[in-house]
Structures are given as structure tokens and as C-alpha cells.
Structure 1
Amino acid sequence: MSEAEMTDSNSDQPKGGTATVAEPREGETLLKVSGLKKHFPVTKGLFKRQVGAVLAVDGLDFDVRSGETLGVVGESGCGKSTMGRLITRLLEPTAGNIEFEGTDITHLGVNGMRPLRRDVQMIFQDPYSSLNPRHTVGSIVSAPFKLQGVKPEGGLKDEVQRLLQRVGLSPEHYNRYPHEFSGGQRQRIGIARALALNPKLVVADEPVSALDVSIQAQVVNLLDDLQEELGLTYVIIAHDLSVIRHVSDRIAVMYLGKIVELTDRQSLYDRPMHPYTRALLSAVPVPDPRRKQSGGGRERILLQGDVPSPMNPPSGCRFHTRCWKATEVCKTKEPPLVALETGHQVACHHPENAPDQEPGDTKLLVEK
């Protein structure tokens, strides 16, 4: 499928302007996020007076390299889905910067983002609500071509049927409606729509959470095959650590709107550095009854208390209210996300398996 050639531009783009980007090389930074924030105002009364804000995303710094898969995990409500919508510019950031191939797209308007929609696409979580029930599959998958004014070689219908075959559906499904398909088939339709214009970056928001376990494996394997075939770059958001381990090259762990740990897949699962990451991994079930009987596997860690409200997060480290290693410095000083000698980026004053970032404050809050 042919695609309009885009030229490189490193100049700052005014709001509402048009961005142009160049072809990325394997391993180069495709997406760079700095200080990204999204605060949703909370209003009250007849005059809608703002009385607070939900700090859904409160300062994210990370990058995504061309050809890799970045997995994002965390509890429900930690800001994962909001982050995905921010980097695809479906939401307007409160603060921070988003660069796509060196071009600042943080405040581009609708017209400015239109050419970039070819390169940045999203697969939504719910395959039942993300497809228009009044449109046929052919109309849904062909919509990106019509919106971008792209005329595929061989005709639009043939191209859509080819896309349906690529994601494991039949070309005969072209004239059917979404209600005639199962959940897994609907998600495949959403994947076909996202891949229609050969994007460079695909953000998948919980792509398998609404599917049966057997169908999850099929969709995950499909995403892997498409990445290898088309050279895609993924940001996959999920709460299932087993799925993330299968598909990701690097993994970011989020808690209350912030990234608390970021490293490669093997290091994260073998030597988690942040106490919250360790607690998450301890909750992953081990599908081996012999290990359970012999007492093998990870030590189960039960976190005390509830997740704090994102409207009023704790001072200092946001995890200190539930952390068994918390000291006074955790209560008063927010830990920065720094790279340790192990290669992990960790936001913790007392990281696991490493010398403390803040030595000398060893009195635990639970002891006090």
C-alpha cells in the first residue's frame, strides 16, 4: 500500500500547525515523553467552581524505540489508559512534552495531527463499544482510507479484504455487522482498522482483557506476527503480567499516575527493584501444583490498605502508605526516577536488591 512521503522537520510546530516526520531507523527513539501530566478538574455547585483535580497522570518521562514493544502495567486507576490517550493525542495534556520522531506534537490541533494519524494508531480496550453497530465491517476498516484521502492500489474493497485476511478473518465478512461476531473477532476488526494505513506506532489499550483466555493467546500471537511482518512499534497497556511478559521488550510499572520502575523484561521479572513491582509479581499465579505443595515460587506479599485517591495523593513517595520498607524520608521527599547500576530506572529511596538511595534513614515507619 502506497503512502505519501513525509519530509523531516525539527522546527517547533505552532498550535494547529502541520507536522512532518521522517522514516525512523531500527532502534532509534520514535516517541519521547517528558514531564507528561493530565489533571481532570473536579467542579461543584451551580457555577461549576473547581474544587480540586484528579491527578490521573502526574509527570511521566520515558521513550519508545523504533521496533520495540513497551509494556505498561499497574493497578486499575493508576493512569495507564489516560497515558495511552495522551500519547495518541486523543486527550490534551495539562503539561509536559510529547515528541514523535523529533517533532513536538504536544499541542498540535486537529489539522496538524491529521497527517500523523497515519503513523500513530490505537487499539481500544472494549471490542463491543469501539465499533459502530450501524456500520458494516467493510465501512469500519475502510474509514481510515477515506478520512486520509488514500486510494489503495487495486481498489478499496480488495485492500480491506486483504486486511481482514491478514488478521485472521474471512474476506466474506466484508458486508457483515459487528453484532454478528464474537469478542475475539471484533478485536481483530479493530486491529485491522488500526493497521489500515501502515502506522509506525500502535498503542494497544488492554487489547485482550475482555477476551477469553484461549482467544487472548490468539490475539497476542497475532500482534507478535504483525510486528515482525510490518516492523511495528507497540505500547501495550495491560494489567495481566503474564501477557506483558510474553510480548514486551521493556516494561514500565505505574502507580498513582507515575512510573515507579522501568527496565527490560528479563531484569524486571528476575530482580524487581521497587517494592510495588515485587508485590505485583508475587500476585502472579504459578500454574504448577508441585511448586505450590513444595512451597516454591515467589513469596506472596499482601499490601495493606487501599490505593490512595488520585485527587489527594500522599506526600513524598506515593507508595509509602502501603510499603513495608517506608521510612521518614519516604514520607517527606518524593523519589526521582533514576537509573541504577543494574540498568533499572527506579523511583524509590530504598530499592530492592540495591544500596539505598537515601542511606542513614533506616527507621521504618511501621516501627515508629
Structure 2
Amino acid sequence: MEKDVTIPEQAASSPEPLLRVEGLVKHFPIRKGVFGRQSAAVKAVDGIDFEVYPGETLGVVGESGCGKSTMGRLITRLIEPSGGKVEFDGRDITHLSMGKMRPMRRDIQMIFQDPYSSLNPRHTIGTIVSAPFRLQNVEPEGGLKNHVQELLQLVGLSPEHYNRYPHEFSGGQRQRIGIARALALRPKLVVADEPVSALDVSIQAQVVNLLDDLQDELGLTYVIIAHDLSVIRHVSDRIAVMYLGKIVELADRKALYSTPMHPYTTALMSAVPVPDPRRRGLKSERILLKGDVPSPISPPSGCRFHTRCWKATEICKTQEPPLIALKTGHQVACHHPENAPDQVPGQQVLAEAREAVELIAPAKPEASAEEPPESGATPTEDGTATPSEPAEDGAKE
């Protein structure tokens, strides 16, 4: 069952965002020579803006290397930003010192991608989960051990696991331990960096449902970073699409999946597999982007996606499109968006743009002799069923 896309009650009652990011930048210097002089910089995050409201879940998707994980570490202040501004609960935390940032750690926590490397193998589970209380000098009611055992039960583990070590648990159980540690001090904001990508598919749904249940029970606010578009669709209220250090589209989940505006988002949606063989005929053509992602050391001028875009024009090479709202709550950074009016009409599509992608027609499902075609479908001469109406959420489903 998909998550309700209505705006959370907390966000409706609180017009002020819990997290506000403005022009966030992180460049990692590349140094060469005897004196270690900077010769270049990896532009991991290069000016992004977004807000997260209390009680909602913001999903962040994009290819590997686009800056998603770096962005997560920047807003939790695990690494120092090169520029921009991060406000949490009305307070500027962009350049707070370690000492001043420590009290804020109670309200901002992170769940890491690898559930094993993020746990100290020499410490017991009780020591790992109780560490936030010791670091913050907090003594929970009823005693520390009892409270930690209650946390273990909250995430689906047994209190008897208190004295065990990380190597004695499966991947899904280790991730639950990481979740328990992140929730120990009842934070307001949790940043989950690929929380299920290292887990088996059978375990992913359990962890995702656990995060949903904990959000409802504890009133949490999430920023969830993931590659899996089906996971993001299930858990998110709004979704930000990143490409090469920039947010290229930011919209409500339903709007993004039904009417994506940025060509890159359209290409991502076309890659979503349809597990039901009877519905594969409803899927549109697969858009296969040619070439590799440009280097973040020297990103392309203008729109960073123009080297792989089939709609690129001369203005895309020279002028970077701003992230603007073309519909209510739907922002996109594109001169020639999909499912929206052209922002710079009359431009000539570049010759190289016509060869930037390859369209792959969807495989038609074979009709079973025992099963008649679905209602609303018309049988063809070769026995396949052609849908008479598009899918409920659009052809990209």
C-alpha cells in the first residue's frame, strides 16, 4: 500500500519549514605537487535549494555520483559546507563549531547505508545504542539498559540482543540496530542514506514499513536518499531529482511520477520495471541515455544535462536554467520541459542531441491460452492484448 500523498498535518499547521537549505555548495579540492596546491575541485554539490516541513518525507533520487550522499552529510553537518546556508528549526547551523553543534545532534540524526561498517564490531548492541545517551549526558527514566531494550523492541528486535555483537546479526537486523541508535534521543529530523540498498529485496519492504510506522508513532521528519524509484515512491511525500550536483526537479510524488517535466526524470521513469507481465504492454518506450555522466570536476556549461538530452538546443549549452515552479508545488530546471510549455520556444534542436538517446520499444507480453485478455484491452492478430486506456498513473508506470 502506497503512502498517502496528502500534506502532513504537522506541515499544514506549521508554515515554517523544519529544514531550509539555500545555495548549498560542497567542493572537494584536488591537490597536486610538493606543496599540495589546489589544481581543481570536485563539485559534488553545486548550489541546491529546498525545504523540508515537519512530519513530511523528502525523497532524493539520482545516479551514482550526483551528490545525494554528500548533501545528506552536509545537512547533518558531518562535513563542512563550502558555501550556502543550512537552517534547522529556525537556527543557522551552517558553520557551527563542534561544541555548539553537539546539542543539535539530539534533533538531527542519520541512518547510514552500510549497516555493518557503521556499527563498531568490538562493541555490544547495548553499548552501541546507548552511546547517544552517554555523549549527551542524558539519563532516561527507568534506567539506561531498560530504555535501550525498549528501543530494540520498538525496531523489531528482542531485548535479549542487548549483549550480542554486530557480527551475530543479519543485514536487516543490523540496519534495525542503526535505526534504534538514530532514534535513541527522539530526533526531529532523520536523514537516511540508502537505508535499504544493502539489504535483500525480501528484507527491504520490512525496513521501509518500519520507517513508516516509526514516523507515524514518533512524529519524525525524513530525508531519504535512494536509488530505487519504487522505494522512494512508497515512502515520500515530495521527491527531489538530482543530477551532477544540482536539483533538476522537485515535486509532489504523485505529480512527479504521473507528469515528469525534466527530460532526465522522464528517462529515469522509463527505466522503472513493471513486475506484472500482464501490464508490460502499458509501459512506454525505454529511454536509454548514451554516454557517461560528465565529470563533476569540469561539468558542462549551461544545463548540465544537455550533453545527454534529446531536446538540447543552443541556449541549453550556454545558459543554466533556474529551478522555477511551472505548476503549483512542481519545480523544474529546464528550458524545454516535458508536460509543460516550452520556456524558450523557437530554438533549433542540436544535431548531436538527436543521437543522445536510444528508444527501446517495450516487449509485448505473450498471451496465455488459459487466461483471456484483461478487461479494457483489445486482442490483436498475434494474440497480445493492446490496452485501450493508459495506466492509472500515466504511461511511465
TM-score, structure 2 as length reference: 0.85
Equivalence for 1:182: 170
Shift of 1:356: 1.1
Deviations 1:168-221 (CA, angstroms, capped at 9, x unpaired): 000000000000000000000000000000000000000000000111000000
Mapped contact 1:320–1:330 kept (Cα < 8 A):
yes
Shift of 1:155: 0.1
Matched, 1:100 2:88: yes
Matched, 1:199 2:170: no
Q: Share of identical aligned residues, percent? A: 80
Equivalence for 1:303: 289
Equivalence for 1:31: 19
Equivalence for 1:277: 265
Q: Partners in 2 of 1:367 and 1:37 — Cα distance? A: 29
Equivalence for 1:366: 352
Q: Partners in 2 of 1:137 and 1:25 — Cα distance? A: 38
Equivalence for 2:279: 291
Cα distance change on mapping 1:328 and 1:145 into 2, 3 Å:
same
Shift of 1:46: 2.0
Mapped contact 2:21–2:49 kept (Cα < 8 A):
yes
Shift of 1:102: 1.2
Equivalence for 1:340: 326
Equivalence for 2:127: 139
Deviations 1:17-60 (CA, angstroms, capped at 9, x unpaired): xxxxxxx9656300000000000000112221211000000000
Q: Partners in 2 of 1:234 and 1:362 — Cα distance? A: 42
Equivalence for 1:17: none
The one-letter code of the counterpart of 2:224 is I
Mapped contact 2:308–2:353 kept (Cα < 8 A):
no
Match of residue 352, structure 1, among 327, 334, 338: 338
TM-score, structure 1 as length reference: 0.91
Matched, 1:171 2:159: yes
Q: Partners in 1 of 2:156 and 2:15 — Cα distance? A: 29
Shift of 1:291: 2.6
Shift of 1:141: 0.3
Q: Partners in 1 of 2:277 and 2:87 — Cα distance? A: 47
Decide which structure has the larger Cα Rg and report it: 2
Mapped contact 1:34–1:62 kept (Cα < 8 A):
yes
Matched, 1:159 2:121: no
Match of residue 48, structure 2, among 22, 37, 60: 60
Mapped contact 2:312–2:353 kept (Cα < 8 A):
no
Shift of 1:366: 3.0
Equivalence for 2:211: 223
Shift of 1:344: 1.3
Structure 2 gaps of 5+ residues are: 1-11, 355-397
Mapped contact 1:274–1:347 kept (Cα < 8 A):
yes
Equivalence for 1:317: 303
Runs ≥4 in structure 1, deviation > 4 angstroms?
A: 24-27
Q: Partners in 2 of 1:160 and 1:224 — Cα distance? A: 21
Q: Partners in 2 of 1:363 and 1:300 — Cα distance? A: 21
Matched, 1:86 2:52: no
Cα distance change on mapping 1:25 and 1:178 into 2, 3 Å:
farther
Equivalence for 2:108: 120
Mapped contact 1:328–1:365 kept (Cα < 8 A):
no
Matched, 1:242 2:230: yes
Deviations 1:281-307 (CA, angstroms, capped at 9, x unpaired): 100100111233xx3213200001110
* More deviation, 60-69/335-344: 335-344
Q: Partners in 1 of 2:114 and 2:68 — Cα distance? A: 15
Q: Secondary structure at the match of 2:152?
A: helix
Q: Partners in 2 of 1:193 and 1:158 — Cα distance? A: 14
Shift of 1:367: 6.8
Q: Partners in 2 of 1:87 and 1:200 — Cα distance? A: 13
Q: Partners in 2 of 1:225 and 1:134 — Cα distance? A: 31
Q: Secondary structure at the match of 1:355?
A: coil
Q: Secondary structure at the match of 1:302?
A: strand
> What is the RMSD of the two structures over their aligned residues, measured on CA atoms?
1.3
Shift of 1:358: 1.4
Shift of 1:363: 3.3
Q: Partners in 2 of 1:119 and 1:215 — Cα distance? A: 28
Matched, 1:51 2:52: no
* More deviation, 39-48/59-68: 39-48
Mapped contact 2:309–2:353 kept (Cα < 8 A):
no
Shift of 1:360: 2.4
Q: Partners in 1 of 2:329 and 2:107 — Cα distance? A: 30
Cα distance change on mapping 1:367 and 1:95 into 2, 3 Å:
closer
Equivalence for 1:210: 198
Deviations 1:47-100 (CA, angstroms, capped at 9, x unpaired): 212110000000000000000000000000000000000000000000000000
Q: Secondary structure at the match of 1:278?
A: helix
Q: Partners in 2 of 1:56 and 1:181 — Cα distance? A: 34
The one-letter code of the counterpart of 1:334 is E
Q: Partners in 1 of 2:341 and 2:88 — Cα distance? A: 36
* Matched length: 343
Q: Partners in 1 of 2:161 and 2:121 — Cα distance? A: 14
Q: Secondary structure at the match of 2:84?
A: strand
The one-letter code of the counterpart of 2:18 is L
Q: Secondary structure at the match of 2:346?
A: coil
